[in-house]
Structure 1
Amino acid sequence: MVDLRHHGDSEVGHGLLDFAVNVRAGTPPRWLAERIAASVADLAAYPDPGPARRAVARRHRRHPDDVLLTAGAAEAFVLLARALAPRRAVVVHPQFTEPEAALRAAGHRVDRVLLTGGFTLDTAAVPEDADLVMVGNPTNPTSVLHPAEALAALARPGRILVVDEAFADCVPGEPDSLSARTDLPGLVVVRSLTKTWGLAGLRIGYLLAEPALVRRLAEAQPLWSVSTPALVAAGACSSPRAVAEAETWAADLTERRTRLADDLTDLGLAVTPGHRASFLLVRTPGAGRLRRALREHGIAVRRGDTFPGLGPDHVRVAVRDAGTNAQILRVLAELL
């Protein structure tokens, strides 16, 4: 049984160069940090989610009633697990393990669909009678981006389709995002502001769904679950300025990721193709030993064997700036 509660932050230790956590380095930017800091002056009042909901709705061309703000994407998965009563819940793996962990914690039985090969989505592998399907896009930890049309094909009346788009803004233009789709029955899109904006400690995310489902999930959410600073961050990160900044970052990320993938391949490591997120899935025999050796040399990477569908030969490597990437490449060249 894999440890579904193991995450990248468990790999990081004092003095280690962090390639384990997939949060953008050097964030939050100054303009965002200043907005968050200024919100402290309003802490005497209870949080008002209205402005942030409207900002998120505008960003995705949705109605505010389609938006539920959450304390990170993780809370969205907990709310879904608590509010829904699926007869057959299916999680498509490998992917972020919190959706399955939340379902199991709520007492639901979970079936797994394990993708193989290049980890591309096989819609035929999803059982027809599944009334709750959870899938990531792009997927953590594979970095694979599934086509929007393949995901849309999984939607149908009587089924809740949850698409985790925590890393969607890693892809310039977000061409395969379903965040603006209101025509697909039962669709829930979960987004996070943690990764691109470096807000893991603030806990802010949201989900997009039809209003009736949003209301149902909101009833399962504690009052004032999202703090005032987090709401300010949600509104700021949904502004046209922020979206443009994220787009510029995503284009730069694409270049750095491609270069790192090529360099890792040149060292004899197998990099999962089709990578589109802020990390790479790497396979090599004895990856566990390599991970421990990297740690002894001051570098942390994410183990892969806690993801269903992966094993001890996989590690996940975050994409950093060129200078930081060069450091792990130098150490790998020595170890290999």
Structure 2
Amino acid sequence: MGTATGTTITGGTRTAMRTDDTGGSGLDLRHHGDAEVRDDGAALTDLAVNVRADTPPVWLREEIAGSLSSLAAYPDGRAARAAVAARHGLPVERVLLTAGAAEAFVLLARALKVRRPVVVHPQFTEPEAALRDAGHSVDRVLLREEDGFRLDPAAVPKDADLVVIGNPTNPTSVLHPAGVVAQLARPGRVLVVDEAFMDAVPGEREALAGRTDVPGLVVLRSLTKTWGLAGLRIGYVLAPSEIIAELERAQPLWPVSTPALAAAEACVTPRALAEAGHAAHRITADRAHLVAGLAEFASRGVRVVQPAEGPFVLVGMAGAAAVRRRLRDLGYAVRRGDTFPGLGEEWVRVAVRDRGTANGFLKALSAALP
């Protein structure tokens, strides 16, 4: 794709933006956290990838392994689709299983006929990358640090017919109120809410998954984060049946493997949902410990976006690029923040881990800071 013209809206001010294959300002929209632990093969403690540690659990691995005897047959997703639909109280016609949430972004970009897509940043960059790869000119709404990276629905252009936002948002860890996000919906507009990390929020408060009263609502969910299934690729879309039908027509045949279907069915059982709920409370406690430790470095210029509600925190500091390199030398990988539109070189994202790992990281950070 060549260059295209877009718009950036920041704090109600709209300016022209030229978008190219790196996102308009030299940003690598295809950079993701896994690159931080693959660059040089070093043995690093991974705080760059937002997949829950110590997963998948044994019982889930056994469920997946049990599906391997069926590999000679083509995948049949009906049972898994019905299970996901039941989990959210929806008819199966409103559910589409995908090879991770990333596939869903590609399907949306290719299948929907939209004129003015808008992505609310900072957030996961794959939605914009997929839209641009499909030939769309993408406008950005940039949320500001001084506003706590909080959503102002009025900042989104009224004529946007596709709006994408994450909740809780990667990388800011901001959880937007469901009522505020729902204000973005209107007739003639598709509202895409990426809830890949919502199951890491106790009670999934502020979730829109399962809602049928919000016009044009499309909710994306991922099973790779909480259950450690990034290598298996499994997620799903919840949307009006007519949108699901359009996305399904754009999918290749048998897009989700038999093991991934087995995982999807297993991860929405009452047992799994209870375990995910316990994990969410554990993440909340571990995040509070990490944030409290980071607060000890406030006098050295470290700041944390709060309140953080996801399984990661966004941390700002002067000279973050150099600090990140020193942390690598000390055995810790964190996610650079400067590839997210709306952020800069002073930001890093840090995954929430257990207290022992967090303590080791905080000790390394103390040594890495100027």
Shift of 1:274: 1.7
The CA deviation string for residues 1-53 of structure 1, in whole angstroms up to 9 with x for no partner, is 20000000000043011000010010000000000011000001111111001
Shift of 1:267: 1.6
Match of 1:230 in 2: 260
Q: Give me the identity figure in percent.
A: 65
Match of 1:145 in 2: 175
Match of 2:351 in 1: 318
- In 2, Cα distance between the equivalents of 1:267 and 1:197? 32
- In 2, Cα distance between the equivalents of 1:334 and 1:303? 18
Match of 1:23 in 2: 51
- In 2, Cα distance between the equivalents of 1:176 and 1:275? 14
- In 1, Cα distance between the equivalents of 2:245 and 2:352? 38
Match of 1:290 in 2: 323
- The 3-state SS of whatever aligns with 1:195 is helix
Alignment RMSD: 0.7
- The 3-state SS of whatever aligns with 2:136 is coil
One-letter code of the match for 2:94? D
Match of 1:77 in 2: 105
Match of 2:294 in 1: 264
1:253 aligns with 2:278: no
1:129 aligns with 2:159: yes
- In 1, Cα distance between the equivalents of 2:181 and 2:172? 17
Match of 1:89 in 2: 117
Residue from 211, 221, 238 that aligns with 1:208: 238
- The 3-state SS of whatever aligns with 2:259 is helix
Match of 1:330 in 2: 363
- The 3-state SS of whatever aligns with 2:204 is coil
- The 3-state SS of whatever aligns with 1:87 is coil
The CA deviation string for residues 223-244 of structure 1, in whole angstroms up to 9 with x for no partner, is 0000000000001001111011
Match of 1:274 in 2: 307
Shift of 1:335: 2.4
- The residue correspondences of 1:182-201 to structure 2 (distance < 5 A) are 182-201=212-231
The CA deviation string for residues 71-123 of structure 1, in whole angstroms up to 9 with x for no partner, is 00000000000001211000000000000000000000000000002101110
One-letter code of the match for 2:206? D
One-letter code of the match for 1:68? L
- In 1, Cα distance between the equivalents of 2:270 and 2:106? 30
The CA deviation string for residues 200-254 of structure 1, in whole angstroms up to 9 with x for no partner, is 0000000000111101100000000000000000010011110110000000110
One-letter code of the match for 2:89? R
- In 1, Cα distance between the equivalents of 2:203 and 2:89? 15
- The 3-state SS of whatever aligns with 1:163 is strand
- The 3-state SS of whatever aligns with 1:11 is helix
1:50 aligns with 2:91: no
The CA deviation string for residues 162-183 of structure 1, in whole angstroms up to 9 with x for no partner, is 0000000010111100001011
Match of 2:14 in 1: none
Match of 1:40 in 2: 68
Q: Which runs of 4+ in 1 moved over 3 A?
A: none
- In 2, Cα distance between the equivalents of 1:298 and 1:258? 23
Shift of 1:334: 2.0
- The 3-state SS of whatever aligns with 2:149 is coil
Residue from 170, 176, 199 that aligns with 1:169: 199
1:2 aligns with 2:27: yes
Match of 1:62 in 2: 90
Match of 2:10 in 1: none
The CA deviation string for residues 174-194 of structure 1, in whole angstroms up to 9 with x for no partner, is 110000101111100000001
One-letter code of the match for 1:214? I
One-letter code of the match for 1:32? L
Aligned residues: 336
- The residue correspondences of 1:83-122 to structure 2 (distance < 5 A) are 83-117=111-145, 118-122=148-152
Q: Mind listing any 5+ residue stretches in structure 1 that lack a counterpart?
A: none
- In 1, Cα distance between the equivalents of 2:329 and 2:368? 11
- The 3-state SS of whatever aligns with 1:234 is helix
Which range is displaced more, 70-79 or 52-61?
Answer: 52-61
- In 1, Cα distance between the equivalents of 2:341 and 2:49? 19
- In 1, Cα distance between the equivalents of 2:181 and 2:166? 10
The CA deviation string for residues 303-332 of structure 1, in whole angstroms up to 9 with x for no partner, is 000000000000000010111111101111
One-letter code of the match for 2:334? V
